Chain A
Amino acid sequence: MKYLLIILFSLLSFNSAFSEENFNNFLFKNSKLIINSSSKTVGTFLEKINVYDQNTVSRFLNLWKNKKLFYIKETKKIVLISKFDNKTYYAIDIFSNAKIGKMRKKDFKKIKPNSGVRAKISSALVNFQIFSNDTNKRINSINALEKKILPEHLKLLRKAFLLEEDDRLKIKIKKLLQFAILQHGADDNERINVLNELKTNISLEVRAVLSKLLRTSEIKVTKNIEDLNNLNIAQIIKPEVMSKKQFGEAIKSFFYKEKLKLSVIDAYKIAQKNGFLDKRVSLNELKLILENNIVDNKILGIDIKEFNKNSKRIEVYNKLAKIKNLNIYRDETELLNDLKQLHFYKVYIEKNKYITNKTKQVLDSINFKVKFYKYLDLFIDGLSLSSIYFLGAIGLAITFGVMRVINMAHGEFIMMGAYTGYVVQLYITNHTLSLIIAFPLAFIITFIAGVIMERLVIKHLYKNPLDTLLATFGISIALQQLAKNIFGTQARPLTSPYWLDGSLIINDDLSISYIRIAIFVLGVLFFLILLFVMKKTRFGLETRSVTQNPVMASNMGVNPEKINMLTFGFGSGIAGVAGVAIGLFSKVTSELGSEYIVQSFMTVVVGGVGSIWGTLAGASLIGFLQKFIEWFNPSNTLAAQTYMIIFIILFIQFRPKGLIALKGRAANDN
């Protein structure tokens, strides 16, 4: 048995050695072809190569393509080179990796296939790999094909589709085959069939391939309109006189996007290039010509001081042009008249009109579906922005909404929560566990901070809300600076646990990151907790009674001081917990809180002070509104914020009590 194996093994190795030997000989014979390869000659060589062992050949082709091969000048033998020291190099056999001999630098030269040759090699490589027995190789080759499909791959793909047995790969190959047929297929009926099959597919790839089919030429021009009859016209373009783009009109450009148009000047250039019109004299050229004709500070007897107007320059130039037989200056409206006899158009690169029409139809129906997902995406964006605003404002819903305390340090409680999360992560490296600890810890810390603040400062100022505003602002700047002193000015990382990385991918147009889902869930959770505490617990009842009428509440045996303290602490604690959540998606810096403070107050005011439902409504309104405005011009979020705030200012004028206004006795105080 042992012997048998040895024999078998040696046979096998001999066999492969034999094939390598053969291939080596083949290479040696054709070495000139390889060294001086051009995209024209390389084709025949690559066809001949098919008969040799697949692995060997593909290894060789890879080396060739990646410019790893060298040849010895004397013998024209193709080798690999490895550096020994500064002067000597080793020549190494391509297949056996054996050192053949020492060389000096002048003895060998690199083989540099040009890009055309390399493209041919890569497509030949596909040929070897797509039918390989190794599934991984097949996957690799198909992935390589995805990047660029060449006409010669069509045949390969057809064959591969028939031979492939792996189901998942077969689907991939089918997709590539469809794309190949669309782009390079000769049979128009087949292409239309493929188009019909792709109707329901809304992936980005399909859209890319379809829009490739609709590629157009550059703008062309003709004098004879009948020329257009036989062409697959994409668009007929009329040149126009364009007013210069007015700058500084941010509002106008925000809501109104101009289509690409053809200016008279550009159109004239195209016409001139195609020999339909004479060269135009531009104002700059006119000026140069005039300057060249200055005699004694005069042009045609006119003092140069008078040339500070274009009209004068043109007038004199035209006189000069008649004398010197130059082209007369023409302004844009005159140029437009000249251009009227010409027709500017674009054609599709695809010649068959039926195909382009069908493609347009399919693309339209796909885009219609895509639009639906876009709107859905917008909605989800709005939802997650709303939940962020809600998280920012939720603590205020208690301290400002219920207690009517203007707490400018609210943002700093959010910041404290976020820093708590960061510090906990320093000690507990498991991000899930650290988050579970950080939430209650942040609540406790900010609760205590809130209680201290209430006892020391706010207690004295309940009667004067404006003073509270200023005192808490003092606390806010002190806390902010304190955080800066402790943690430095650079952003600190608060990393979310691994299961919150990545996103839920529904299709190419719609994916929701898990962190956004988590923020939304947290927002809903906080809302429910808050609602429960305020409406269903003894504490909530006492809080509401104290804020409505402290005297009567104390008559009923409620201690207003204690309740005020606890309520403020509770609101601050909630802000701290929200801070941990906010820290997960934004940078934790000492300025984290101040970014949220104005928006948070607006959220509560817009929603309606005194109602937790109001805060929810306010956050939703602001979040969706901002995303909606952004949708008009996605690149300009600053403008969206500006218009959103202006809208809110106007909104408050008409509903000073907010969306959900309290009625009855609760609304009594101002």
Chain B
Amino acid sequence: MITDINKSVKKHSLIFLITIFLFTLLITFLSEPFGINFISTSFVKVLGKTLCLCIAAIAMDVVWGYCGILSLGHFAFFGLGGYMIGMWLMYERTSIIVLNSLDGSQLPFTEIELQEAIGNQIFGVVGGTEIPLIWTFADNLYFQIIFVILIPGLLAFIFGWLAFRSRVTGVYLSILTQAMTLALSLYLFQNDSGLRGNNGLSGLQNIPHLENLSQSTISILFLWLSSIGLIFSFVIFNYIIQSKFGSVITAIRDNETRLRFFGYNVEIYKLFIFVITAIITGLAGAIYYPQAGIINPAEIAPIASIYLAVWVAIGGRGKLYGAILGAASVSLLSSWFTGGNAPNIPLGFFTIEWVNWWTVFLGIGFVAITIFSKGGLIGMLNTLLVKIK
């Protein structure tokens, strides 16, 4: 039995691994620095960011599609991951700039002078010069990477522990998670939150110590990093789902009360899934924001998390590749249609401008998928394949 599952896990993961690997390889050969310069750097970045969103989407799929917890706050973890890595990126880069600018003075500067200059550079916009306590480890990449894992994990643990312990379930939990991400974004909007208020962290696309590399090279590096991240999280989640642990989780989704009567400690299972998905989402954010270049509190507004759920639902929940399909297709199509690239459709009496009408059609299409195809796009494809056979 166990060997069976292992086989299936390996097969699925292998297929997926190869697909993503080939895709990334293809993009690399089409890119500017390593290939025939067919696609632009900005499009490579878009693809890299989309891969990161796919990571968040499969995490969302695990927590919602498999475990039945509709979290409308997972983007908060995504943003937190971005903030944690952004702190190092910004601090390190500023300190390099400051060191260069102070090169002219005669005496070597003291630690305090250095701190003041960096503080002034980073926090000048919010009227401060002091470096806040939460930036204590910002000069150390390894510490910040640990924080990328630790902080979203800790928030998820505290929130999940409180919520699951008092058996808040279903829509109540959804509303509560939404409140969590709203509270976090409101807190970060304050100027004295220590994370530059609504200015957010910026200039993240300039990676310190990699100044010699061009942006196009960096974009390819991050594309690889993103796809490795996606493969890594897919393997982990696939393993979890296919194991016995995964069956328990699916059972929680289907009938939590019965499972509780069987003697399972349901709360621990839910908490584990909630925390692990939060950590993976945080990591995804940490890879996403250096490509986006800027992070601010508006990113973690409640609507972002709802969109995450929308992608998963459109792609097809309960299937990991469904989540990936949904996230990739909807986010890419959205940026294509709202970017003004799509041709308008003249109807004679009225012209459909996609910039204005895409969201309307997206909303309606989404309603249709929720009502008519519970399996999302993947479900539709499956039924189509069955019919053809």
Contacts and interface: CB of A to CB of B under 8 A. Distances in A.
B26 interface: no
A97 B162 CA distance: 86
A652 B331 CA distance: 34
Contacts of A15: none
B225 interface: no
Interface stretch (A379-387, A538-546, A637-645): A637-645
B288 interface: no
Interface in B151-176: 159, 162-163, 165-172, 174-176
Interface residues on B, range: 35 or more
B168 A653 contact: yes
A594 B303 contact: yes
Nearest to B197: A638
B130 A639 contact: no
A465 interface: yes
B371 to A, nearest CB: 5
Given A461-B371, A469-B70, A471-B367, A246 B107 contact: no
A44 interface: no
A250 B306 CA distance: 28
A469 B70 CA distance: 10
Contacts of A478: 359-364, 367
A145 interface: no
A255 interface: no
A652 B370 contact: no
A485 interface: yes
Interface in A438-496: 457, 460-461, 465-467, 469-471, 473-482, 484-485
Contacts of B167: 656
Contacts of A481: 356-357, 359-360, 363
Interface residues of A, number: 62
A471 B313 CA distance: 10
Nearest to B193: A250
A663 to B, nearest CB: 18
Contact of A638 (B133, B171, B180, B189): B189
Given A250-B190, A465-B171, A474-B363, A648 B107 contact: no
A313 B111 CA distance: 13
Nearest to B68: A466
Nearest to A639: B190
A460 B370 CA distance: 10
Contacts of A602: 175, 179
Contacts, number: 177
Contacts of B175: 598, 601-602, 605
A117 B192 CA distance: 49
B179 A247 contact: no
Given A304-B108, A652-B168, A473 B310 contact: yes
Task: Specify which of A244, A248, A485, A650 lies most central, judged by the most chain B CB atoms within 10 Å of its CB.
Answer: A248
Interface stretch (A185-193, A261-269, A287-295, A581-589): A287-295
A291 B107 CA distance: 7
Contacts of B111: 308-309
Contacts of B367: 457, 471, 474-475, 478
Contacts of B105: 291
A654 B303 CA distance: 27
Contact of A598 (B302, B365, B370, B374): B302
Task: Specify which of A485, A636, A638 lies most central, judged by the most chain B CB atoms within 10 Å of its CB.
Answer: A638
Contacts of A485: 356-357, 360
Contacts of B163: 652-653
Contact of A249 (B133, B180, B302): B133
B168 A639 contact: no
Nearest to A484: B356
B171 to A, nearest CB: 5
B106 interface: yes
A470 B186 contact: no
A668 to B, nearest CB: 13
Interface string B118-130: 0000010000111
B309 A470 contact: yes
Contact of A470 (B168, B313, B356, B362): B313
Contacts of A641: 183, 186
B362 A477 contact: yes
A601 B357 CA distance: 28
B360 A309 contact: no
A284 to B, nearest CB: 10
B132 interface: yes
B187 interface: yes
A307 B363 contact: no
Contacts of B370: 461, 467, 470-471, 474
A467 B64 CA distance: 12
A79 B128 CA distance: 58
Given A466-B171, A469-B174, A594-B303, A287 B107 contact: yes
Interface string B351-389: 000001101111111110011001000000000000000
A520 B362 CA distance: 38
Interface in A633-667: 636, 638-639, 641-642, 645-646, 648-650, 652-654, 656
A471 B132 contact: no
A638 B190 contact: yes
A474 B359 CA distance: 9
Contacts of B162: 649-650, 653
A145 B192 CA distance: 44
A389 B371 CA distance: 32
B112 interface: yes
Contacts of A461: 370-371
Task: Specify which of A244, A406, A645 lies most central, judged by the most chain B CB atoms within 10 Å of its CB.
Answer: A645
A303 to B, nearest CB: 10
Given A471-B367, A471-B371, A645-B182, A247 B132 contact: yes
A670 B186 contact: no
A480 B159 CA distance: 31
13 contacts: A248-B134, A250-B194, A309-B111, A460-B371, A465-B170, A465-B171, A466-B171, A474-B310, A475-B363, A485-B356, A594-B303, A598-B302, A638-B186
Shortest Cβ-Cβ A-B pairs, 5 listed: A248-B132, A248-B194, A478-B363, A474-B366, A481-B359
